[in-house]
Amino acid sequence: MTVPVFAIVGHPNKGKSSIVSTLAEDESVAISPMPGTTLENRGYPMAVDGDVLYELIDTPGFQRARAALEWMRSHAVSSVDRADTVRRFVDAHRNDPRFSAECQVLTPILDGAGILYVVDGSRPFGEDYEAEMEILRWTGQPSLALINMIGDSDYSEEWNRALGQYFRIVRVFDAMEADFNRRMQLLQAFGEIREDWREALHRALRVLRDEHARRRTLSARVIAEMLVRMITHIRRRRVAPDAATERVRDELLKAYREDLANMEPPCRTEVEQIYNHRNVERHEPLVQLLDDDLFSRQTWVLFGLTRQQLITTGALGGAAAGGVIDIAAHGTSLLLGSGLGALAGGVSAWLTSDRVANIKVLGHPLGGEEVSIGPMRNINFPYVVLGRALLHQRMIEERNHARRGPLDISRQPVQSLVDVAARRRFEKVFSRLRKEEGYSADLVASLAALIEKQIERQTENRTKHTAQ
């Protein structure tokens, strides 16, 4: 089966490379606000596991379309040989620097590539474009026009009418914002421009949808493993008989918090890689929320569950019946091993993290003591970690490969990311992880399955939200 090949063509600086980047899921495509960024053709295959589904050829923008068309008109013999006239133009100007962009643009099309003609719908239509469209029509190749909206003004009506005279299919496509479904719709349209590509593009849709599902499964797995590692993490240190246990404990607590905070970034990177995002900047002020120390109060409040929500998970069951004990009021004495007995049943503080982990000071068989911190007993902690991971996963899944800025979550609405019905199921897993009994592969798998459902639910909610 032949792989469909599309040349992305148009005026300079209209988002051609952005569209290539999006549709090929390739962030290495050069995109910039300077016109003339792409000077030479370059092919970008969209492949899944080495299986090339289609190929996109990024091209420079037309530079002298009117002059080129003039040449073609004056050299055309009859309307039957138009493609041939275009070919003769390219042959005659291959080494002519004045028409180097035109030759680049037209070569893959003459070799059989389909045409994706890109315009900026936020700028008015102008006659300059007519020459480009006319030349493309002369090539006789199957084509489709895309209206990309770069700015805020909307001239898409005008463009629709103009493009409709030259292209059978005209679509509005936002190169930067297009999500997975929009891309799939566009690929479907690609299949309509040439009969013998239809099957290949339907297959591409199937493969990409499967891949989309597979990425969610993989991401859920990565998040589950991170959660398990974080909840069950224990730090131990032996203390010499004459050492100041308090100081050791403070140091250990600091190390323990750092251990936990350090477990998030590798998981984020892994999720990004699952989605072919390799250079996402997560350290800008805009992403403060995600970068915030895990233990900041703000993060805790935004991502964790409220006391009422925690009660409904069942984790606070018995305690809730007799009035929830607000551990925060008990102060630092609870940091001591002896105080932790009172926390049986998981009734630990939900606001401050210093009082959340299981801290033990035990006599050591070789003399002295052993201080250990972990597993994480705070019942809100896993929801904070999960909430943050789910938000990041969603943003990465939606992040288009044409987007180059830092991961900006400042505009993201923060909502409870784990639904009520799921909380009890999560709680069952979390409460088992909190016990120092180790855990089974099955437990990790069931946590991953719960997370995957939440990922799906996030999309459903968003789809509903945008449809309203």
Q: Is 185 in the site for ligand GTP (CB under 6 A)?
A: no
CB of residue 75 to Mg ion, shortest distance in Å? 29
Near ligand GTP by CB under 6 A: residue from 5, 6, 7, 18: 18
12 or 314: whose CB is closer to ligand GTP? 12
Which CB atom, from 176 or from 349, has the smaller least distance to ligand GTP? 176
Nearest approach, Cβ of 16 to ligand GTP (angstroms)?
Answer: 4
Q: Which CB sits closer to ligand GTP, 28 or 32?
A: 32
CB of 116 to ligand GTP, least distance (A): 11
Asked if 176 interacts with ligand GTP (CB under 6 A), we say yes
Cβ atoms of 417 and 390 closer than 8 Å: yes
Q: What is the CA radius of gyration of the chain?
A: 29
Contact 277, 399 (CB under 8 A): yes
Q: Do residues 229 and 221 make contact, with C-beta atoms less than 8 angstroms apart?
A: no
Nearest Cα to 387, choosing from 436, 426, 431, 358?
Answer: 426
CB of 422 vs ligand GTP, minimal distance in Å: 36
Pick the stretch among 14-22, 328-336, 358-366, 425-433 that binds ligand GTP (CB under 6 A): 14-22
Stretch that binds ligand GTP, among 82-90, 174-182, 333-341, 347-355 (CB under 6 A): 174-182
User: Segment contacting ligand GTP (CB under 6 A): 12-20, 231-239, 272-280, 337-345?
Assistant: 12-20
Among positions 9, 24, 31, 103, the unique one binding ligand GTP when judged by CB under 6 A: 31
146 binds ligand GTP (CB under 6 A): no
Per CB under 6 A, 37 contacts ligand GTP: yes
CB of residue 287 to ligand GTP, shortest distance in Å: 19
Which of the choices Mg ion, ligand GTP, none does residue 178 contact, using the CB cut-off of 5 to 8 A by kind? none
Q: Which stretch binds Mg ion (CB under 5 A): 10-18, 47-55, 154-162, 307-315?
A: 10-18
Question: Is residue 33 involved in binding ligand GTP (CB under 6 A)?
Answer: yes
Q: How far is the CB of 7 from Mg ion (least distance, A)?
A: 12
Bridge partners (DSSP) listed for residue 239: 369
Answer for which of 26, 27, 38, 313 binds ligand GTP (CB under 6 A) is 38
Question: 3-class secondary structure for the chain?
Answer: CCCCEEEEEECCCCCHHHHHHHHHCCCCCCCCCCCCCCCCCEEEEEEECCEEEEEEEECCCCCCHHHHHHHHHHHCCCHHHHHHHHHHHHHHHCCCHHHHHHHHHHHHHHCCCEEEEEEECCCCCCHHHHHHHHHHHHHCCCEEEEEECCCCCCCHHHHHHHHHCCCCCEEECCCCCCCHHHHHHHHHHHHHHCHHHHHHHHHHHHHHHHHHHHHHHHHHHHHHHHHHHHHHCCEEEEECCCCCHHHHHHHHHHHHHHHHHHHHHHHHHHHHHHCCCCCCCCCCHHHHHHHCCCCCHHHHHHHCCCHHHHHHHCCCHHHHHCCCCCHHHHHHHHHCHHHHHHHCCCCCCCCCHHHCEEEEEEECCCCCEEEEEEEECCCCHHHHHHHHHHHHHHHHHHCCCCCCCCCCCCCCCCCCCCCHHHHHHHHHHHHHHHCCCCCCHHHHHHHHHHHHHHHHHHHHHHHHHHHC
Q: Which of Mg ion, ligand GTP, none does residue 108 bind (CB under 5 to 8 Å by kind)?
A: none
Q: Return the ∠ at Cα 333 (arms to 317 and 232), rounded to 5°.
A: 55
Q: How far is the CB of 285 from ligand GTP (least distance, A)?
A: 21
Q: Does 175 contact ligand GTP by CB under 6 A? A: yes
Among 27-35, 109-117, 138-146, 183-191, the segment contacting ligand GTP (CB under 6 A): 27-35
Q: Which does 148 bind (CB under 5 to 8 A by kind): Mg ion, ligand GTP, none?
A: ligand GTP
Backbone angles phi, psi at 86, to 5 degrees: -60, -40
Closest distance of CB 61 from ligand GTP, Å:
4
Token couple for 357: 């982990």
Output the smallest distance, CB 92 to ligand GTP, in A.
24
Scanning 10-18, 65-73, 260-268, 307-315 for contacts with ligand GTP by CB under 6 A, the matching segment is 10-18
Angle made by CA atoms 84, 90, 93, in degrees to the nearest 5: 140
Residues in 31-50 that interact with Mg ion by CB under 5 A: 37-38
Shortest distance (Å) from residue 14 CB to ligand GTP = 4
Task: Confirm or reject binding of residue 174 to ligand GTP (CB under 6 A).
Answer: yes
Pairing of strands 5-10, 51-58: parallel
Question: Which of 28, 32, 181, 298 touches ligand GTP (CB under 6 A)?
Answer: 32
With CB under 5 A as the contact rule, the residue among 17, 22, 85, 141 that binds Mg ion is 17
Residue 61 touching ligand GTP (CB under 6 A) = yes
Nearer to ligand GTP among residue 35 and residue 140 (C-beta): 35
The site that binds ligand GTP (CB under 6 A) totals a number of residues, namely: 22
Which residues of the chain form contacts with ligand GTP (CB under 6 A)? 12-18, 31-33, 35-38, 60-61, 148-150, 174-176
